[in-house]
Amino acid sequence: MTRPTTLRPILRSVPGILARISAALLILAGCETTSQKGATSSGDDRISSNTLAAGDVITVAYPSAAELNQTQKIRLDGKVSLPMVGEVSAVGKSPKGLQDELAGKYAEFLQDPKVIVSLESSVAVVYVNGEVRAPGKVSLERPMTVFEAIMESGGFSPLANSGKVILTRPEGGKLQRHVLNLKKDSDDAVFLVKPFDTITVSQSWF
């Protein structure tokens, strides 16, 4: 007869235990959602940063009509001239954005209006100097982070201070200076470069 008495405190504590478990699960779920949102935002930023400029060379391919395939340099007025649709503005658009626009334009001319736009070469560059193995210009033919630009320049030299990388960017008629930490697990490693940025890797004194 003592069993029911012994079990009462345990049974009374069950709802409290379940409540704590539910709260913990909600916190974990919230953390996971935040992480996923951050990753999505980063991906969107990478795509939007890759825009076409005058002087860039693009290839326009027509899977259903290969005879129309074109490789053209974007003119100083920002346009290219394409079969059937004529003059099309390309500057300021991403390759994917131009591709989608052309698919709409070719819908009345081709049974399959699919078009593939790819960037062959870019006039946009960033300048990398300081403690890297091969200082110089790096062409921006795709979205690129500061870390990737440094790797394109041969990587850090033995004297490099990866915790102090200075990015200088022309903005609004002025030079803006950003000090970045590219050491392991730093969020700055995914900082995107823009055309004509200058990256300077500082020297380590230790």
Whether 125-203 and 57-121 are alike in CATH topology: the answer is no
Domain ranges, ordered by start, for the chain: 1-48, 57-121, 125-203
Q: What distance in Å separates the CA atoms of residue 132 and residue 134, rounded to the nearest whole number?
A: 6
Is 151 in contact with 126 (CB distance < 8 Å)?
A: no
Distance CA 92, CA 54 (A): 9
Check: pTM over 0.85? Answer yes or no.
no
The rounded Cα 142 to chain-centroid distance in angstroms is 9
Among residues 206, 56, 25, the alpha carbon closest in space to that of 121 is found at 56
Return the CATH fold of 57-121.
wza like fold (3.30.1950)
Q: Identify the architecture of domain 125-203 in CATH.
A: Roll (3.10)
Closest CA to 201 of 177, 169, 159, 166: 166
Tokens 């091969």: give the residue: 134
206 pairs with which residues across the strands? none
Least confident among 80-84, 126-130, 187-191: 187-191
Express each pLDDT in 28-82 by its tens digit. Answer: 333 333 222 222 233 333 333 478 988 999 999 999 999 999 999 999 999 999 9
